Structure 1
């Protein structure tokens, strides 16, 4: 007699031992993608579902966990496991520009292009508790306009947090709450423009998002090459620029750490030219195989404007970040923050202050470091297996890898081929101004180990090194 489940009419009788978890994951994912399991559907309890299918309970638990890691399911106490989202469908295939014929892929896209943390791990319950506590304890004055610089409560907690975690010593009155790093860069660029600083140097390769923001607010940006020690400070000096944007703790996209010699040289450059270093402390919280690297800001707070955000710590949806400008820019920065929209909403700031104060953020980061390390290891192992001979950079920290390709390959074509088989990945050339070696930037934090292995196997098969 065939044993199966009335739920989705699944029949595992012909699935070989050892492949049952993957079979169940694929069956549930297909049902979610096809609308058979709409968002909000409650799945059977793992014990009952396993009994109906004749499988070990651990198989069902693992399948649910993988789909939760992909953001398709969510588990809440008292509510069971519920469908949270449908998979993203791949776009229509792009016609091939060469002799290689694309594989038409009509499944869900595995996103290795978006540099996000594991959003499925967002501490929803803790955030809701903090919001309820804030609302229950808030007087009417707190429901009015917050200072444009940010609530005193959050700035006080951030002052202590940044000193402990990043070596940034800034009194609460020196911190400005912004709409992420993008908000900080926009405000700084406008303030600097008013002071006649209309050209900003930047790392090359460097994050194309930051480049786009600076290009919007300034007359020009100047690319400065990055090597194994970080930004080339001699090349920077030759540009004549007096402002530079850097990611010294974990450079995007190369993953290199700015060397001690370059750190000193960069600060000296700013002092000699009455210049400013804008430090984007990009994903510095995530380190796996190396000791913490303190923020550059501590070398000279009068020449370094420090900025970071919660986008890589909690979620970009919060749009919460901060800026610590040099003292001589603070008044103008606060005025510019006021002129934009009177400042950030105060209730989320108060909730975040509570989570910093009670240690929730620190505990969340410890959990995320462990989870992301496992995903990093899975991605590196898969690259070595399916893209043999390709160097992997930036593995010691952060949320992404850089895989260098053979020099005769076009990384944009490689990324296009990957997309045709359902894998979204960024070509390194997207982040370059000056041509250089080809590569692929792989953001691994948002996918579970199994999905990472699947995605990189697909990439390896289609790129055909």
Structure 2
């Protein structure tokens, strides 16, 4: 069942509530279609695939599909699969602000291209093995499928694709992203509210600038996270006070006590770097704060596709699209070198962020955007994510097993999702373990590396990434890691 969950079909996020698995599934599908999250023509996963995802019998899913088809919610045709049926109702939701003027500046300024996300830890020379967190297996980039998508996209590309274009990004990509995010991540998606950017850092830079211009002076952050993100906000003259963190995730109930905070930056689906998912009550508390105070939640969904033991936690944005800025990226699922990321913005913010991007640069190449749009629409992205999910799960299992065999006293956490785990070490051993790792040519980071200056320390630990080493080096990386563990 676990392997089936990882490999078959397209992803579909559903929230099943209430008694009776079949009824809960039917209600969730009806609501997804009624709300417009699943649009007409969207192809649903096969009954086998969805049954594996949801942990239910295949006949239960097949019966639900058949009844919804009879009711007119779905259509089923041999060779075409099960799809969302056309509906006459207009799609609900407020319309975004008028579009910014897409006409190019006749005297464009020099591009203010943001620097790519810097390495988390500089190391002298090239390490023998790289186990730093947040890095994917770029050797598995799907070159043949990407080339196929590029050829098809360039053949069909309109002439205006090679002009200055819309600062929000190509409409083909924004449309494909809206369909995918609604289906796979539970996002309330509208192509007109998407702004394509060159990475999470670029998107955060744009949103930070708009927040500052709106009068925001502080953005709350998680007590453990990337210093690069805090530094970027600080360069926008925004303070970054830290929220506490415990076994249920970030203590979002503290937001109301943080005076002057206009937004909060979070990784709710998979906290970086500690690895937990934000508890449902904490998610609700964050949304309640944003509604009451007119604040914004900046949701970094950096590796939302990679959850291994059950269906992925849905995006927080689905709880209130007008109070959440959703950030997604292809850096973990495909490769950071593509420089492709996106934001799903509230209606009153979309125009301002697009205008800010247009004043600085356009950044993401139109040809890459068109290729990614075709890659998404053809189903190649779903297939690649499923294959990588299985590969990363195998590596996670091998890592956990190796640690259990060589250092059974060590606690391993954050294993349910993502590309890294956290190993809790005996008190006072974090720095000595890192020194031993460096001496063995192992690039590794300690938990304290990610601590906010105002946050209390956590027990000693190391953050071990398992995405980067190629298959040929993976066993050697594991052996080296086990040698340096206390």
TM-score range, shorter chain: 0.7 to 0.9
Q: Secondary structure at the match of 1:221?
A: coil
Q: Determine if contact 2:220/2:264 at 8 Å carries over to the other structure.
A: yes
Aligned pair partner of 2:206 in 167, 187, 207: 187
Name the residue aligned to 1:99: none
1:124 aligns with 2:157: no
Distance 1:460 1:153 in 2: 47
In the alignment, structure 2 segments of 5+ residues that lack a partner are: 1-121
Distance 1:294 1:182 in 2: 22
Q: Determine if contact 1:146/1:345 at 8 Å carries over to the other structure.
A: no
Q: Determine if contact 2:133/2:463 at 8 Å carries over to the other structure.
A: no
Aligned pair partner of 2:239 in 203, 215, 220: 220
1:376 aligns with 2:396: yes
Distance 1:133 1:115 in 2: 31
Name the residue aligned to 1:401: 421
1:389 aligns with 2:422: no
Distance 2:408 2:470 in 1: 22
Distance 1:427 1:386 in 2: 19
Shift of 1:269: 1.1
Shift of 1:449: 6.4
Distance 1:245 1:382 in 2: 35
In structure 2, relative to structure 1, the CA distance for the partners of 1:393 and 1:278 (3 Å cut) is same
Q: Determine if contact 1:375/1:448 at 8 Å carries over to the other structure.
A: no
Distance 1:452 1:385 in 2: 17
| Equivalences for residues 128-277 of structure 1 within 5 A | 128-240=147-259, 241-277=261-297
Q: Determine if contact 1:251/1:282 at 8 Å carries over to the other structure.
A: no
Q: Determine if contact 1:310/1:321 at 8 Å carries over to the other structure.
A: yes
Distance 2:382 2:192 in 1: 23
Distance 2:382 2:284 in 1: 30
1:194-213 deviation line (CA, Å, top 9, x unaligned): 01112111111112332232
Distance 2:423 2:329 in 1: 26
Distance 2:336 2:199 in 1: 8
Higher RCO (CA-CA < 8 Å; seq separation 6+): 2
Distance 2:135 2:214 in 1: 35
Shift of 1:453: 4.4
1:366 aligns with 2:374: no
1:398-444 deviation line (CA, Å, top 9, x unaligned): 111011111232x2332122111111111111100222221101110
In structure 2, relative to structure 1, the CA distance for the partners of 1:128 and 1:427 (3 Å cut) is same
Q: Secondary structure at the match of 1:455?
A: helix
Shift of 1:296: 0.3
In structure 2, relative to structure 1, the CA distance for the partners of 1:180 and 1:369 (3 Å cut) is same
1:455 aligns with 2:438: no
Count of equivalent residues? 361
Distance 1:208 1:168 in 2: 27
Distance 1:235 1:449 in 2: 44
Shift of 1:320: 0.5
1:356 aligns with 2:368: no
Aligned pair partner of 2:338 in 285, 309, 318: 318
What CA RMSD, in Å, does the superposition of the two structures yield over aligned residues? Answer: 1.9
Shift of 1:108: 5.3
Q: Secondary structure at the match of 1:307?
A: strand
